[in-house]
Structure 1
Amino acid sequence: MDLKGFFGRKTLDGVKNVFAGFSGGPDSTALLILLDEESKRYGFHLKAVHFEHGLRGKEGVNDAGWCRKFCEFRNIDFMEISLDVNNSRRPGESIESAARRLRLREWNDIADGPSTFVALGHNANDKIENVFLRLLRGSNASGLTSLREVQKLGKITIIRPILHFRRKEIEDYLRSKGVADWRIDSTNSEDDYRRNFFRNKVIPLISERFPNTGSSVLKSVYALEQDAEFIEAVTCGIFNPVKNRKSLEVEFLKALHPAILVRFLRLWISEHTASDFIPDSDFITRFTEEMNKAFEKRMTDKSSSLIPIGGDHVFLKFKNNSVSFCEIRNQDESAPIKWKWGTDKEISWDKTVLKANIIPAKTKLEYKRGESVVYFDADALPDELHVRQCKNGDKMIPFGKDSSVHLKKLFESKKMDSECKAHAPVVCTSSGEIIWIPSVRRANFANIGPEVKRIVVFTSVSVA
């Protein structure tokens, strides 16, 4: 393995520190050895960083000890960071998402600065897996090529020097260096996680039928990456002159090509919310609808529309042919939570427990009447739902209906008092479309049809 192609592009000019993620697996081990060699050539200080997530008990502790000894033997600075992933999870947050968020928080603390890089051991196989995973999310070219050799993520710069090498090349390289006892994470064989399922089941099956799958996908990724980088560069040219503005004219946004608009919104919202906001398809659909309404003058001077943008109280507000940031706070309001129902089978919200059970469509079901148990087409639902409190003006298209009604009317039909309304959870998409009010009504959304393949059964249980 030769990194001259990567470092020959002056990637490390002016860099003084490189923090390398080091799990002890083959990828991060090979990366650490290569960076150790390059550090002597380029003069940067190298430090290995191992995250012990507190999830694998003795196995995780043993991995940390192995990594420490590996670095001591080679005189490489070592840092171990302990994370309590389980107890740090936010409501509705998966273990994978929580671990990623905590690692990013630590990287921001230790690697903040223009002369400091974070090096990660992603390889070409990871790029292939990433494409499949991102396709299921409906990602655009930027999302499909989200693993880049050099990437800015907030204030930190991430480099992936071995991104173009396949897993077999990496393991062969390690053996050539006399390393054959790298660590294996036992959870990598568990197919409950999406990435593992694709790595262990789906991709090998496709490759058996189409032997050139890996190389063909990588060629497509390279072409998509070039397209994405061009569109991103054009977007930055449009964004930079207006980046400090908190209000923009609808005509300005309407004039942007859809490929530019989605990337512009990501930059603009991220800039003003101090976050890495990634607009999903639901958000873009909702935003486009409101933008078109405003552009066509269908909104009166007194009317306005709000779109949530991820935070508990931050919205985009359409009014008077402009869109601006708006913050609304209610001291008594319960904080919304995100629910990745595919992996988090049960969450709690206020006085209600919500459960999800995914079953094949072939399963013989005894459908229960009522709104405490509802059934949706699992493949027509977004991967992530939001659970929040009811707000004034909330509307929903009830199941079996064609037009929306105010939730106030639905609550009245159930003869619910104000206290019950305050504690009633509202389940919606990330763009704000309401799909279910437990114990009240489900929406005309993701209905089960003759071609359904998987059904998700949502159940609500009241607790004291």
Structure 2
Amino acid sequence: MKERIRLQHVENFIKKHQLLSSAKTVVVGVSGGPDSLALLHFLWKRSAMYSIEVVAASFNHKLRGEESAHELAITEKFCAERNIPFDGGEADVAAYQKENNLSLQTAARTCRYDFFERVMKKHKSNVLALAHHGDDQVETMLMRMTRGSEGYSIAGIPVKRPFAEGEIIRPFLGITKAEIEHYCKVEDLYPVYDPSNESEKYVRNRFRKKVLPFLKQENPNVHERFQYLSETITEDEAYILHQAEIELEKVLIVKTEGKIELSVSAFNNMPIPLQKRGITLILNYLYKLNPSSLSSVHKENFLSLLGSEHPSGFLHFPSGLFVSRTYDRCTLSFEPVNSEEPSYEFSMDLPGIAEVPIGILTAEITDCEPASIRGKDVFVFSPNDVSLPLRVRNRRPGDRMAIAGVGTRKLKDIFIDAKVAQEERKVWPVVVNANGDIIWLPGLKHTGRKSFNHSEQWVILHFQKNRHDV
């Protein structure tokens, strides 16, 4: 009775998550162990009910010599006795690991999944069924939480996910290892057992042997609670990521291949959960495939940099990603930092219009009374009071400016007080007279101006800074 109820539980799980709704041919990854053998048998017996054809795919990693080959042969025989189509494959995983400088588990997984994809293409299948179960889910979620994973990762093993030209499904996530073992016994299945599953040198095996029994003692159905938590996290994360995408677009100033620039204040105004997902989205965009050395620590350092009261700072991320904050600008880029100061200088026509890297300068000549015109973006003078022609340039080392009632000040100090970003300081326009004296720092400071009440002509300079607000 218990077995029948649990089989119904699996069928309900498949129906709830629509795991076979679009399937015609299902490739089942089979190692010969109890989990995968039970899954193959379960789907094969119900192939008519689900209107599917089942294909077995078994891969020899060549890590345990004749033992591995023997297990593949046993699986092939199992399929032959039931007329289940069978595809076997093998690869020297140890050699592949060494050649590509991977961990053994990563190398094995890569080779195995490449094989599964080939089998799916061969049989025109859009579904790969794998036998991960409820105990695997508990172990995976606990392992990831312990090592500090976040987001989708702590949801553990997904019920289904895109793979190749179809998807991977996991119909057994709602039942336990013990229930699978019981199924094998009831159905007279004789699986093989991998001795490495008993070794406590593997992290997963330590969780399986030491942590899982305690949880099951507290709640025999703990796997159901973890599966519910996994699905809840997945749903919540999808919604929060969608919101983060919407808000992130509002704070980005520059978004190009290999470079992101954003407004620090706007980013900090986002809710904390959206900030955390925002940096994840940014890194995913820049890296395409995140390096293994990238961790939650890097994201925490990024959020600390943007939240700091200090107006500037730098971070070095893996694979040469450079993070730079200057006041309200933060740039993430793979481009090398250019320490050379850009340079420009030209004469300003009166009247005339000139473009500078951060905006536009306009010069007008008028005989109307301009006394009411005020503001740092405007500079009014009489040609009788200023040595012409005017020149416009960017800053030079040692630049100082005379300011009425203050004396002279370094341009560097004026930029700092005005919180001008480092990159903008390099190209900010500086207006000088024919003698080279700085008379105006557009948008920031004027030099002392003489009275122009008796002048017959006046010059009005306007500065319009480029706006990057999104």
Match of 1:46 among 50, 54, 57: 54
Whether 1:14 aligns to 2:25 is no
Shift of 1:258: 4.1
Q: Which residue of 1 aligns with 2:334?
A: 326
Mapped contact 1:18–1:117 kept (Cα < 8 A): yes
**Measured at CA, do residues 19 and 250 of structure 1 come closer, stay the same or move farther in structure 2, by a change above 3 Å?**
farther
Q: Which residue of 2 aligns with 1:116?
A: 126
TM-score, length-scaled by structure 2: 0.58
Mapped contact 2:311–2:325 kept (Cα < 8 A): no
Match of 1:292 among 304, 307, 323: 307
**Distance across 1 between alignment mates of 2:236 and 2:291:** 20
**Distance across 1 between alignment mates of 2:53 and 2:270:** 44
**Distance across 1 between alignment mates of 2:223 and 2:45:** 31
Mapped contact 1:141–1:225 kept (Cα < 8 A): no
Mapped contact 1:142–1:225 kept (Cα < 8 A): no
For 2:232, the aligned partner's letter is Q
> Tell me, what secondary structure is at the counterpart of 2:334?
strand
Q: Which residue of 2 aligns with 1:249?
A: 262
> Tell me, what secondary structure is at the counterpart of 2:141?
helix
Q: Which residue of 2 aligns with 1:386?
A: none
| 1:242-298 deviation per Cα after TM superposition (whole angstroms, max 9, x unaligned) | 5986425244543444444444444554455443668532222222233335xx672
Mapped contact 1:108–1:156 kept (Cα < 8 A): no
**Measured at CA, do residues 319 and 187 of structure 1 come closer, stay the same or move farther in structure 2, by a change above 3 Å?**
same
Q: Which residue of 1 aligns with 2:152?
A: 142
Identity between Structure 1 and Structure 2 (%) = 24
| 1:371-395 deviation per Cα after TM superposition (whole angstroms, max 9, x unaligned) | xxxxxxxxxxxxxxxxxxxxxxxxx
Matches within 5 A, 1:78-89: 78-89=86-97
| 1:377-433 deviation per Cα after TM superposition (whole angstroms, max 9, x unaligned) | xxxxxxxxxxxxxxxxxxxxxxxxxxxxxxxxxxxxxxxxxxxxxxxxxxxxxxxxx
| 1:339-363 deviation per Cα after TM superposition (whole angstroms, max 9, x unaligned) | xxxxxxxxxxxxxxxxxxxxxxxxx
Mapped contact 2:34–2:192 kept (Cα < 8 A): yes
Whether 1:99 aligns to 2:114 is no
For 2:229, the aligned partner's letter is A
Q: Cα RMSD (Å) of the superposition?
A: 3.5
Q: Which residue of 2 aligns with 1:193?
A: 202
**Measured at CA, do residues 249 and 262 of structure 1 come closer, stay the same or move farther in structure 2, by a change above 3 Å?**
same
Mapped contact 2:27–2:125 kept (Cα < 8 A): no
Q: Which residue of 2 aligns with 1:4?
A: 11
Shift of 1:126: 0.8
**Distance across 2 between alignment mates of 1:15 and 1:134:** 31
> Tell me, what secondary structure is at the counterpart of 1:98?
helix
Whether 1:162 aligns to 2:172 is yes
**Measured at CA, do residues 44 and 217 of structure 1 come closer, stay the same or move farther in structure 2, by a change above 3 Å?**
closer
Matches within 5 A, 1:171-210: 171-179=181-189, 181-204=190-213, 206=214
**Distance across 2 between alignment mates of 1:202 and 1:62:** 33
**Measured at CA, do residues 224 and 123 of structure 1 come closer, stay the same or move farther in structure 2, by a change above 3 Å?**
closer
Q: Which residue of 2 aligns with 1:356?
A: none
**Measured at CA, do residues 258 and 52 of structure 1 come closer, stay the same or move farther in structure 2, by a change above 3 Å?**
farther
- Of structures 1 and 2, the larger Rg is shown by 2
Mapped contact 1:154–1:276 kept (Cα < 8 A): no
Q: Which residue of 1 aligns with 2:392?
A: none
For 2:88, the aligned partner's letter is E
Shift of 1:84: 1.8
Mapped contact 1:23–1:51 kept (Cα < 8 A): yes
> Tell me, what secondary structure is at the counterpart of 1:19?
strand
Shift of 1:114: 11
**Measured at CA, do residues 215 and 261 of structure 1 come closer, stay the same or move farther in structure 2, by a change above 3 Å?**
farther
Whether 1:27 aligns to 2:40 is no
Shift of 1:120: 0.9
> Tell me, what secondary structure is at the counterpart of 2:73?
helix
**Distance across 2 between alignment mates of 1:71 and 1:106:** 18
Bigger mean CA deviation after superposition, 80-89 or 35-44: 35-44
Whether 1:59 aligns to 2:73 is no
**Distance across 2 between alignment mates of 1:245 and 1:46:** 46
Mapped contact 2:156–2:230 kept (Cα < 8 A): no
| 1:89-133 deviation per Cα after TM superposition (whole angstroms, max 9, x unaligned) | 257643223222333444455557997122110111111222331
Mapped contact 2:129–2:169 kept (Cα < 8 A): yes
Mapped contact 2:244–2:275 kept (Cα < 8 A): no
Bigger mean CA deviation after superposition, 4-13 or 168-177: 4-13
> Tell me, what secondary structure is at the counterpart of 1:88?
helix
Q: Which residue of 2 aligns with 1:455?
A: none
Shift of 1:137: 0.5
What are the ranges of 5 or more consecutive residues in structure 2 without an aligned counterpart?
1-6, 337-470
**Measured at CA, do residues 164 and 224 of structure 1 come closer, stay the same or move farther in structure 2, by a change above 3 Å?**
closer
Shift of 1:135: 2.7
Shift of 1:307: 1.6
Matches within 5 A, 1:42-441: 42-89=50-97, 93-108=102-117, 111=120, 116-140=126-150, 142-152=152-162, 157-179=167-189, 181-204=190-213, 206=214, 211-216=217-222, 218-223=224-229, 225-239=231-245, 246=257, 247-251=260-264, 253-275=267-289, 280-292=295-307, 298-299=311-312, 305-308=315-318, 313=319, 315=321, 317-318=323-324, 321-326=329-334
**Measured at CA, do residues 138 and 305 of structure 1 come closer, stay the same or move farther in structure 2, by a change above 3 Å?**
closer
Q: Which residue of 2 aligns with 1:349?
A: none
For 1:81, the aligned partner's letter is G
> Tell me, what secondary structure is at the counterpart of 2:217?
coil
> Tell me, what secondary structure is at the counterpart of 1:121?
coil
